[in-house]
Structure 1
């Protein structure tokens, strides 16, 4: 490293020449610099240890915050807040549409917050933005315990979703700015594996809360107080998160330089704070982003139904409240294994991500069919087995995130893509609960299982279409026969999009 580049590494700053370009330009310039692989590996290891555990806890809290509604209804919330009422058309049955709306309104809030939060993360310093918003999230979560009516719960759920929308979009863009395309599969799967971890951890916590007797609060209120307190502690940590490897305070000067330079080859860029309308327009017209959105929306319908109504559905098979919570463990365990295994394989072997995604869809379809068509007798085993194997949906969603974020470049376009993926996630979560019609319980909720099977067939179809789109785009780029390594190095941190950069290659 020359004296000039060493000075840049210590004091990267935007100048007129670097305005509108990636923040990496101020540190490493437009030419390739050799870096010690030992230093590079050490930098990656430090980044892993700083980011991944925190992100796993952070997204775990997001998932737990959503999923505890399914357990809270078993602990008296349904009665206390009048979430279920006699069906006006059939007094012998119960109408749970209020619970469905309480579940869905969280995602309407998230829909409202995704694009504003993504814009804020691009324009402002990441750590301070995350820290302030997460502390507000903790306060909103704590206030759930003070809700006294279903209308109040509706309002609380909407604002909870709005605030929490910063986490998934933020995490996706952070990973895409710190790691290479090949590394992203494993790292995205690590933080998203919280879906499985916190299904198990949350189930264990809720099992403990089920033992509480007496006291001044209802059991479901204690759950939200714990979730809010844990979230506040995470919010304090968020203030220490750097915006990019360029400003990573936990790395030495040499490690920061290596952490940035090693990302040059992948052409995905790191971070640019300037909003670019041209990149937004390109994203809006990019078919692959909309195929990814279709896949996410259809795949996450399972979570909308399972996280909000899972314990309630399992209790239908004659299992007690405690037993219904325990049955979240195998579901969470399979979800965890599917996410981590597909993430590891995706980083180990190139161009198998779409294939793995399709394979992970098949057990979900089989599980839905098994629940629907098996006998719902007292302590029935078959529908519980079907419920458990739907856990492979975690691998499907994790791969959609990885495929989406590793195949776009340009910071405005990446921010739009991450928000769009989670807009689709919200759509799936909104649709899922609405497929549950309590009046059709004697028929095993046919609308739910038919709807979920159709959604996963749509996911597979969109995945196949995306494969051919990406393969076609790679062939077009290869036909240009671009081999100028000097130009390649120069373009890496110009904040070009994947379509603008002839050296960018899509990961299948």
Structure 2
């Protein structure tokens, strides 16, 4: 048994003792002011702790830090961003197929098309808890690559029949397979990047949904205008192409993205140690495979969890509605032909793809409060929704439709919050899952707001978009206020403790939640 060096003045153990596979990190002062000893089996701590123990007195330069960050950005962000754009294309391919003849070929009537979209989110909702738990319990990247392989196969299978019931069944299975995508990208971001870096990186991969809008629309347009050259329906060609791209990407993912930074093939041994040290300030490491009941209960009693749930429901009603019915709206309300609707839908993706990273960079560059700024930007997007809903001519409506792409700053704020502001791995997975359940509920409701009886202008659906964005903005204002005053309380406790306010060594990797750890601060 190794000796423990204890500071007599502060009565805080500053080294880690290992005995029969158990560790004692030291005495921790909780957010409520109570003192708690952090100890237990090594498996209950973060996976990064084992590497942190080898980094005693490890030093590195600012230049090395920048070099490692550049490597992470080069090897991870472009690939993960492309992967996330595929997630959007795969999901939205149903909307592209809608103006390529799938409704006619499958003899859909009334609101049957709406249910092909809702079926996706029913599968997503049902499988979401299982997907999240599996990503925690099993190797992260390897597990997700299996999910991605399965959804590639399912998309290809969508092109094998013209039966409406079979198609709805496959859409449900597709939702089950894709339920892991957002959880995976969030957990991966938290493994590699500092809290202050997460917002911009999340903006990169979320903004590529805009690339998905542009690329998907252009691909569908290119296939649609050549439909007479194919021996099968053009929408089937679309599903096959999208499925094969996803299939190849799943294979690359399995070999390219490691399960933890300590296994990253593109980093040498010293750089891997630097990654561990870089993420200390996050008070979270690589992850923990043990599901912890107390963290789950803490997440379920945190008001922020429910604000994110309400936000997710409200935001994704218009988000999914525009995703599924955007091309139809351009065709029936704004008067463009079926093929032109695909073409004119592309600029919204460009606005999102270019605009979101610029907004995120400005927020990080000028150190603006992220949650508050997101709330203000969503409020501005309400004006764009009003242009679409109440505009008098097609040009005004089209401008509103394009600028609504900027409302995706909301999910950037959400997922960067989960990546950097939720220490405690089980709590992180739980809050992310609750958010995604809200995402599913909103996405289920969204397509149903476009009722067949409201065609061709769908005015009730457009008014719903305005109202839901107002609720979304209100949730973000409340989240910012709660985190702001929580930080104030923690600062007051720090001032009260004075010299006793000293964090035990390696507490960053003890898998403590924000409630358990007074040393943690929310990034606003």
Gaps of 5+ in 1: 1-13, 86-94
Q: Which moved more, 1:364-373 or 1:54-63?
A: 364-373
- Asked whether the equivalents of residues 31 and 489 of structure 1 are also in contact (C-alpha less than 8 Å), the reply is no
2:230 counterpart SS class: coil
Which aligned pairs between 1:198-277 and structure 2 lie closer than 5 A? 198-212=212-226, 213-240=228-255, 241-277=257-293
1:167 to 177, 181, 184: 181
Cα distance, 1:185 vs. partner? Answer: 0.2
Q: For residue 507 of structure 1, what is the aligned residue in structure 2?
A: 523
Which aligned pairs between 1:345-424 and structure 2 lie closer than 5 A? 345-375=362-392, 380-424=394-438
Q: For residue 34 of structure 1, what is the aligned residue in structure 2?
A: 59
Per-residue CA distance 1:121-156 (angstroms, 9 max, x = gap): 111112321222211111111001013222111101
TM-score normalised per structure 1: 0.90
- Asked whether the equivalents of residues 134 and 232 of structure 1 are also in contact (C-alpha less than 8 Å), the reply is yes
Give the whole-Å Cα distance in 2 for the aligned partners of 1:229 and 1:425: 27
Q: For residue 38 of structure 2, what is the aligned residue in structure 1?
A: none
Q: Is 1:61 matched up with 2:74?
A: no
- Change in Cα spacing, 1:350 to 1:420, as seen in structure 2 (3 Å) is farther
- Asked whether the equivalents of residues 140 and 160 of structure 1 are also in contact (C-alpha less than 8 Å), the reply is yes
Q: For residue 335 of structure 1, what is the aligned residue in structure 2?
A: 352
- Asked whether the equivalents of residues 357 and 396 of structure 1 are also in contact (C-alpha less than 8 Å), the reply is yes
1:325 to 315, 331, 342: 342
- Change in Cα spacing, 1:465 to 1:363, as seen in structure 2 (3 Å) is closer
Q: For residue 19 of structure 1, what is the aligned residue in structure 2?
A: 43
Give the whole-Å Cα distance in 1 for the aligned partners of 2:366 and 2:436: 26
1:492 counterpart SS class: helix
2:149 counterpart SS class: helix
- Asked whether the equivalents of residues 43 and 255 of structure 1 are also in contact (C-alpha less than 8 Å), the reply is yes
- Asked whether the equivalents of residues 408 and 414 of structure 1 are also in contact (C-alpha less than 8 Å), the reply is yes
2:151 to 132, 137, 150: 137
Which aligned pairs between 1:41-60 and structure 2 lie closer than 5 A? 41-60=66-85
Which aligned pairs between 1:420-499 and structure 2 lie closer than 5 A? 420-441=434-455, 444-481=457-494, 487-499=503-515
- Asked whether the equivalents of residues 195 and 336 of structure 1 are also in contact (C-alpha less than 8 Å), the reply is yes
Give the whole-Å Cα distance in 2 for the aligned partners of 1:196 and 1:230: 18
Q: For residue 5 of structure 1, what is the aligned residue in structure 2?
A: none
1:356 counterpart SS class: helix
Give the whole-Å Cα distance in 2 for the aligned partners of 1:177 and 1:364: 32
Give the whole-Å Cα distance in 1 for the aligned partners of 2:420 and 2:513: 12
- Change in Cα spacing, 1:170 to 1:393, as seen in structure 2 (3 Å) is same
Give the whole-Å Cα distance in 1 for the aligned partners of 2:231 and 2:500: 71
Which aligned pairs between 1:69-148 and structure 2 lie closer than 5 A? 69-83=94-108, 85=109, 95=110, 97-148=111-162
- Asked whether the equivalents of residues 189 and 198 of structure 2 are also in contact (C-alpha less than 8 Å), the reply is yes
Give the whole-Å Cα distance in 2 for the aligned partners of 1:342 and 1:503: 30
- Asked whether the equivalents of residues 138 and 228 of structure 1 are also in contact (C-alpha less than 8 Å), the reply is yes
- Asked whether the equivalents of residues 276 and 285 of structure 2 are also in contact (C-alpha less than 8 Å), the reply is no
Cα distance, 1:418 vs. partner? Answer: 2.0
Give the whole-Å Cα distance in 2 for the aligned partners of 1:485 and 1:326: 60
Q: Which moved more, 1:390-399 or 1:60-69?
A: 390-399
Per-residue CA distance 1:470-491 (angstroms, 9 max, x = gap): 0121112111216668625431
Q: Which moved more, 1:467-476 or 1:445-454?
A: 445-454
In the alignment of these two chains, the number of paired residues is: 480
Q: For residue 309 of structure 1, what is the aligned residue in structure 2?
A: 325
Give the whole-Å Cα distance in 1 for the aligned partners of 2:351 and 2:500: 46
- Asked whether the equivalents of residues 184 and 347 of structure 1 are also in contact (C-alpha less than 8 Å), the reply is no
- Asked whether the equivalents of residues 186 and 418 of structure 2 are also in contact (C-alpha less than 8 Å), the reply is no
Cα distance, 1:158 vs. partner? Answer: 0.6
Per-residue CA distance 1:198-242 (angstroms, 9 max, x = gap): 111111111110122133210000000011100011110121221
Q: For residue 9 of structure 1, what is the aligned residue in structure 2?
A: none
- Asked whether the equivalents of residues 330 and 345 of structure 2 are also in contact (C-alpha less than 8 Å), the reply is no
Per-residue CA distance 1:443-497 (angstroms, 9 max, x = gap): x323212211111111111111111110121112111216668625431110101
Give the whole-Å Cα distance in 2 for the aligned partners of 1:69 and 1:15: 52
- Asked whether the equivalents of residues 42 and 255 of structure 1 are also in contact (C-alpha less than 8 Å), the reply is no
- Change in Cα spacing, 1:150 to 1:190, as seen in structure 2 (3 Å) is same
Cα distance, 1:363 vs. partner? Answer: 4.1
Cα distance, 1:438 vs. partner? Answer: 2.1
Cα RMSD of the aligned pairs, angstroms, is 1.9
Q: Which moved more, 1:280-289 or 1:401-410?
A: 401-410
Cα distance, 1:502 vs. partner? Answer: 1.0
- Asked whether the equivalents of residues 52 and 506 of structure 2 are also in contact (C-alpha less than 8 Å), the reply is no
- Asked whether the equivalents of residues 268 and 504 of structure 1 are also in contact (C-alpha less than 8 Å), the reply is no
1:327 counterpart SS class: helix
Q: For residue 10 of structure 1, what is the aligned residue in structure 2?
A: none
Runs of 4+ in 1 over 4 A off after TM superposition: 482-486
- Asked whether the equivalents of residues 185 and 402 of structure 1 are also in contact (C-alpha less than 8 Å), the reply is yes
